[in-house]
Structure 1
Amino acid sequence: MTTSAQADPDTPRPSRPARRYGTLAVALAIVVGLLLGYAGGLLTPRLTRPGDASVEAGFARDMSSHHAQAVEMGLIAFRSSSDPAVRQLAVDIATGQQGEIGMMQSWLREWGLGPNRSGPPMAWMSDGAATMKDGLMPGMATPQELERLRTTQGRDHDVLFLELMIKHHLGGVHMVDAIVEHGAESEVIEAATRMKNTQQGELTNMNNLLARLKGAPASAEAPQPHHSN
């Protein structure tokens, strides 16, 4: 016997309010990007393998570390920015560069090399020592700058993020130019060229966003990386 209090299985239940999982979605996107980067780096077989002291190994190790800071800054801005365009750019940088880290780490594993360098950073570049500043690779933010990025809010936060990331990208482009000029592995050169194209597009976007936030006319071109002699 059924009672009036028994639930009708065909009666739709009230739907729960929709929830947004923005941070979780970004975390999942980063994981997916990392896995895709690993897969992309393993798809093309090689007849020769770069050695531990090769420019390819140096680039993969140092650019992975360089990218890791960009991912960190991107996630900070994604959580803290009040500007939708800045937040979108930040998450695009974080997910894109995490995928590239996965690709570069897969190269090292395929070459039978460890992820850590045996010598000083930037030793694979002819002017590597000259590009270092306070023990940091080109364009990298200092610990003090990262702390400021974590604690500032509003427009000041967005301006600081863009200024730091513009400097960071310019340093990365300088490293890419070096591997394109001196590298011998076609896959590494092709991937580095894609990195440069992506970062140059992001530089243009960041300079335009920065000009808007500062109330200045947007610049038509992104600044070019400085090359040390």
Structure 2
Amino acid sequence: MIRATRTHWAAIAAVALALLFAGAAAVASAGGGGTESRTPSADSADAGFARDMSVHHQQAVEMSFIVRDRTRDDEVRRLAYDIANTQANQRGMMLGWLDLWGLPKLAADSEPMAWMAQEGGHGSHTGHPGHGTHEAKDGSLMQGMATRTDLGRLGKASGKQAEIEYLQLMLIHHNGGISMAEGCVKLCTVDTERSLAQGMVDAQRSEVELMVALLHKRGAEVRAS
């Protein structure tokens, strides 16, 4: 278990560094010339992904800060720090793109994840959560997002129970995020944004494997979404 866990940490660290470098290049080129000089429209998959994943990421950062203060376990605190740091940086990149494109960071006339139904209008039949497949309730706006009740329970837990709550919630959160990022890989038109989305898929899949191992180490199982 220790060897496997160290392997996962090394893989996650490598992917995180690659994402940061790729993200820096993406911010530099997203508003530049060449094939990416065309500004995406407000209802494009590019804009929709940037807006929605920014919200999705913000909750992951919030949950990571909560568990940081609820446990002294080095493994979980290190994972939480990595997730918070990486997703906060990615969120800044995506909001930066919206600024470069002159597009709003919030779209009052568009429901979350509506952009995922653009694939021939059959987003819910492609293995990705399409528009209308997630019922927004109790603060959970998109697939994988925790509810306010979930966050309250995490905030009241401590020690091993807080670790388990965090890992279970973050597993669900990551799986929802992976589906969204896969949707961008298929639907987004800005090359740098697609590259960042693919990097999210790779990194979060690695973190999912690690979180499953950490749950099993604590005698717990993955919670159904």
TM-score by length of 1: 0.75
1:184-195 counterparts in 2 under 5 A? 184-195=189-200
Q: Determine whether 1:98 maps to 2:88.
A: yes
Structure with higher Rg: it is 1
1:85 is matched with which residue? 75
Residues 26 and 193, structure 2, Cα contact 8 Å, conserved in 1: no
- Shift of the alpha carbon at 1:81? 1.6
Q: Using CA pairs under 8 Å that are at least 6 residues apart, name the structure with larger relative contact order, 1 or 2.
A: 2
Amino acid at match of 2:75: A
- Shift of the alpha carbon at 1:41? 4.2
Distance 1:111 1:148, change over 3 A: same
Q: Determine whether 1:136 maps to 2:127.
A: no
- Shift of the alpha carbon at 1:47? 1.4
Q: Determine whether 1:42 maps to 2:33.
A: no
CA distance in 2 between counterparts of 1:115 and 1:38 reads: 19
Unmatched tracts of structure 1, length 5 or more: 1-34, 217-221
Distance 1:132 1:189, change over 3 A: farther
CA-based RMSD: 2.3
Cα deviations by residue, 1:119-140 (Å, 9 ceiling, x for unpaired):
1111111122113442520000
CA distance in 2 between counterparts of 1:94 and 1:37 reads: 18
CA distance in 2 between counterparts of 1:72 and 1:152 reads: 15
Distance 1:67 1:215, change over 3 A: closer
1:21-36 counterparts in 2 under 5 A? none
Task: Figure out how many residues of one structure are paired with residues of the other and give that number.
Answer: 185
**Residue of structure 1 aligned with 2:112, choices 104, 114, 121:** 121
1:123-202 counterparts in 2 under 5 A? 123-126=114-117, 127-134=130-137, 136-202=141-207
Residues 121 and 137, structure 1, Cα contact 8 Å, conserved in 2: yes
Cα deviations by residue, 1:92-149 (Å, 9 ceiling, x for unpaired):
1000000000110111011111211231111111122113442520000000110111
Amino acid at match of 1:79: D
Give the SS at the match of 1:192.
Answer: helix
CA distance in 2 between counterparts of 1:190 and 1:141 reads: 27
Residues 37 and 102, structure 1, Cα contact 8 Å, conserved in 2: no
Distance 1:38 1:205, change over 3 A: closer
Give the SS at the match of 2:218.
Answer: helix
CA distance in 2 between counterparts of 1:41 and 1:212 reads: 38
- Shift of the alpha carbon at 1:37? 9.3
1:56 is matched with which residue? 46
Amino acid at match of 1:94: A
Residues 58 and 88, structure 2, Cα contact 8 Å, conserved in 1: yes
Amino acid at match of 2:98: L
Cα deviations by residue, 1:157-190 (Å, 9 ceiling, x for unpaired):
1000000000000000010111111111111110
Amino acid at match of 2:115: W
Q: Which has the higher helix share?
A: 2
Give the SS at the match of 1:104.
Answer: helix
Cα deviations by residue, 1:53-77 (Å, 9 ceiling, x for unpaired):
1011000000000000000001111
CA distance in 2 between counterparts of 1:215 and 1:132 reads: 27
CA distance in 2 between counterparts of 1:178 and 1:38 reads: 18
